Structures are given as C-alpha cells and as structure tokens.
Structure 1
Amino acid sequence: MTESLKKHIREYIEISDDKLEKYCSAFRIENIKKKDFLLKEGEICEDEGFVLNGCFKVFRTDKNSDDQILYFAVEDWWISDIDSFINKIPSQLNIQAIEDSEILLISREDKEKLYQEIPEIERLMRLKFQMSIIALQRRIIDNLSKPSDERYQDFLRDYPKTAHRLTNIQIAAYLGVTPEFISRIRRKIVLKKP
C-alpha cells in the first residue's frame, strides 16, 4: 500500500531503503466513502494524509451555505488543514471525499518524532511546503489579475486529470464563479472547436 508513497518521496529526495521503510510504516490506511468527511470545521486536524486513490475537496462553507473550495486533492497529493495540524487549533476547513477514496494518514506526533530521526523527511516536507506556497501565491495573483474565463482555462490546463472528475458546481466553488458561468464557458469552448 505504501509503494506509491515511496515512489513519490523518491521523486524529491534521496533516502535509504531502511529510513524510507521506517517513515512509511508510521502511516495507517483508511478508506473514505464518497461524501464522508476526513475533517469537519471545528475539529482539530490530528493527521496529515497522502491520497492513494480518489478525490477530496478542502473547503469552507460561507454564511450563505456556499462552499469555497481551497483545493482538490487526488492521487499523490498531500492533504490536511495545516493551520489546525501544526497549531492544534479548531479547523476552519472541511475535508470531504468527492469519490470513494483511499488515504494514508500520519499523526502529528509520529511525524514530529520522525523529523528528528530522519532529517531527509524534514527536507521532503520543506520542499513540499515551498511548492504549496508557490502554488498558493500564483493562485492569489491569478485571482486578482485574470478574468474568470482565463482562470477556468488555466484550471483545465493545470489539472487535466482532476477537472473531468468534478462537477460544474465544484469547479465554480474553486474559481469563485457561478456554476452557470462554467456552463456558459464550456459551451463557448465547444462551439469554438473546429
């Protein structure tokens, strides 16, 4: 079950087989059914996850009961509410399975302990955090400077393996537009095709 995690880690760092095995053995596997929650707003995020298969949305619900999706997590993505996980505070986010999913989970305590024992893992997570911050920075800049139709096209280009798994409502909640806008832009794209 941890083969995809091992492969993922080796894409970023060099690590001995023994250390990699020790790290991966700290994870436990969970199956999450479609629409079930891995985390609900108000709970403290006790685990960080690595998605083996399936799809999750990380979101909050506003006062009008509309979802605001921060990101989707599919195969080989890490997932958690990092603020709640690190600071041990109630989460402002929900993590819900969009599909039946399988995930590896590691507790905060085990992760911290392994940082001390396996410095390579701390380096891995630093690299992953840097990549996440870059992606977040780019998304904020795009949201401030690009029109909605261009952001939709960018989403399709950047996440081709994810976009087809999502509804118009989910994509709209990620882009901050209406589902009707997504339907219109999709029709436009179809009409432009030769």
Structure 2
Amino acid sequence: MTEFERFLRQLPDQDAERGRQVFRRRRVDRGELVVRVGDPPDRVAFVEQGLFRLYGTDDAGTERTLAFRAEGELVCAYSAALRREPSRIAIEALEPSWLMVAQRPEYDAMVAANPGWQQLVGRLTEALYLALERRQSDLLLTDAADRYTRFVTEHPALAARLTQRQIASYVGVTPEALSRIRRRLISINDGATAPAYRAGHDDNARNGDRGSRA
C-alpha cells in the first residue's frame, strides 16, 4: 500500500475517492524547488516518497531552514495560502521524490464539500500549529546544543537522511558551530554508539558520517 493510500484510510470511502480524483502523481528531482519565494500558493502536495526542506533567507542572505517534510506529510506554503499572498518561503527536494499534487482551487472545493476532509484538515492544522509553537519555543528558550540533541534523539531516521549543514541550518547555528557542539558531545559521551556522537564526521555527508555521502 502506498503512503497516499495509507493517508486516505483516515477518510470515509467517498471522501477518499474524491482525494484520488483531485491529487495527481508527480516526480521531483533532487534539488528542485517545488515552491519559490514569490510563487502563488496555488498547490497542495502530499509526500509519497522523498524528503523536502522549507526555508527562507534573512536580510544577510543566510538560508534558515524552517522545517522538513517526509513521507506521509503534506507540504505547501501553508501560511501564504492562509494569507492569500505570494510565498515568503521556498521548498526544496533534498532527495529524488514523488508527490501527490492537487491544484488549490480543486483542493479547497473538495475540503469545503466533504466533512471527512474538513475533520482531517482540522487535525493536520492543529498538529502543524503545535509543532510551530514548539519550534518557536525551542529557538527562544533553549540553547543550540539542546536543540541539536533533541532533534537527533527524537528524529533519528530523519537526521540520518540529512547533512550536518542542513541540520545546522534547522538548529539555527553555522556548520562550524555545530561541529564544535558535536565535538563537545562526543567528548562528554565518549564511546557512545548513537549516530549523533560519531567522532568521524563530515559536515557535507548525511548525519556527518563520511561513509554515507550521497
């Protein structure tokens, strides 16, 4: 069973069938931007297979990673859709990926006409809000070492698919600062086997492991 079909199992049969009609499968290459800054919020996508990064660029030109989206998750410029204005973020494929894509007018009409979709979208919106609130709290109230440790502990499978540069951007530090944090954690946790504390690391390889460079 595909990830999209698992997702649709949360819905009544009639609503699930409507979703199959509205969403269309699309191949995405690694490095492709599925949303660019300034794009209209005219599509909603479900990650069937692959990994995506949502990011913005600050006034100094530094990219700031806001979130990652992987299999089983919706990916779109959500806040832009709510504001009905061009996207202020970009969404990049970090791996060769497959999306199920719906045009926004069709998607909105489907949700408006189907109670099952309304309830599901309500739950997804609530989860998104809680995740955003926690993310903001972490950035304001915890230090970078704690943010890094929590990320690799709570999301080990995701961390294994990312480079240390990508993780550093999400944690909110430079790659050099993250390397110092990792060295300190390695020293404190000497002999630990967790990937987060491997001594041999490469900031451009997945999870810092030289053997995993793509």
TM-score (norm 1): 0.91
Matched, 1:6 2:5: yes
The one-letter code sitting in structure 1 at the alignment partner of 2:41 is: C
Contact 1:57 1:71 in 2 (8 A): yes
After TM superposition, give the deviation of residue 152 of structure 1 in Å: 0.4
Aligned to 1:108: 104
Unaligned runs of at least 5 residues, structure 2: 192-214
Contact 1:47 1:85 in 2 (8 A): no
Percent identity of paired positions between Structure 1 and Structure 2:
27
Which of structures 1 and 2 has the larger relative contact order (alpha carbons within 8 angstroms, sep 6+)? 1
Output the CA distance in 2 between the equivalents of 1:3 and 1:22.
Answer: 17
The one-letter code sitting in structure 2 at the alignment partner of 1:171 is: I
Aligned to 1:28: 24
After TM superposition, give the deviation of residue 25 of structure 1 in Å: 2.1
RMSD: 1.6
Q: Which of 176, 183, 193 is the matching residue for 1:180?
A: 176
Aligned to 2:76: 80
Contact 1:9 1:124 in 2 (8 A): no
Matched, 1:119 2:115: yes
Output the CA distance in 1 between the equivalents of 2:94 and 2:112.
Answer: 35
After TM superposition, give the deviation of residue 146 of structure 1 in Å: 1.1
What are the equivalent positions in structure 2 for 1:14-93 lying under 5 Å apart? 15-93=11-89
Unaligned runs of at least 5 residues, structure 1: none
Work out the number of aligned pairs and report it: 190
Output the CA distance in 2 between the equivalents of 1:144 and 1:30.
Answer: 37
TM-score (norm 2): 0.83
